[in-house]
Amino acid sequence: MRKLMLGTILLGGALWAQETKPSCDKCSGTYVPNEEVQAYVMRSPPGTVADQQVRDVDAGKLHVAIGVVYRGKETAGGAVAEHDLVSEVYHVLDGSATLVTGSDIVDLKRRPADDLAVRTLNGPGGNGASIRNGASYQLKPGDVVIIPAGVGHWFTKIDDHIRYLMVRLDPDKVTPLKDEAASKADLATGFKGR
C-alpha cells in the first residue's frame, strides 16, 4: 500500500512539475482606449443596426475581437442569428431589450459566404425565424450575456435602443485581424454598413 501511495505521489509531482508554455508565444497585449471605442459609438446611425468591429487580435489559440453594436427600436422581433464557430459576449452599455437564446432555431437558413458579416464579423452561420424553447432575458445597462458558438440569439423586443460592447471569441480564426492602424483608417472613412 505504501508503494502505491508513494508511486501516486511521485507521478502527481512529476505531472505538476512539467513545464508549460504560453499558448501565445511572444504576443503583446492590446490596449484599446475609451476614445477609440467612443468614436465607434458616436458614428452609429440611430434607428438602424450598426455592428462595428473595433479590433480583432491574435491571442494565440484564438482571435479575440472587440466591437460596438447599436440596435434601434424593435417591436416585431428581427431575425435569429447563429454563428457556427464564433462565440460572443455582450456587455450592455445603454438601452434595454428582450433577448432570447437557444439552439432549436426555426427555419434556419445559411448566410452566403460573401455576406459582409460572415467575411468580417462572425464567420459562417445562419439566420432563422424564431427559437423554440429558448431562454428569455430582459437586458439593461451593465448586464452581460455569453452566447456560445452554435447558439441562436434573437432580440424579440428593443424598447428604444440597445448599445453593447461585443467580445467575439474565434478559436478557428475565421475572422480577419484588425489592428490599431486599420481601426483608425476605418474611423476616418465613416460608417459604411452593418
pLDDT digits (tens, 9 = 90+) for 132-171: 999 999 999 999 999 999 999 999 999 999 999 999 999 9
CATH code for position 138: 2.60.120.10
* Predicted pLDDT of residue 26: 79
* Within-domain flag for 94: yes
* Within-domain flag for 113: yes
* Within-domain flag for 39: no
Residue-range definition of the domain harbouring residue 88: 47-182
The C-alpha cell at 30 is 492590446
pTM beyond 0.75: yes
Structural domains in the chain (count):
1
Question: pLDDT band at 15, cuts 50/70/90?
Answer: low
Q: b/e string for 132-166 if b means 16 or more Cβ within 10 A?
A: eebeeeebeeeeebebebebbbbbbbbeebbbbbb
* Within-domain flag for 27: no
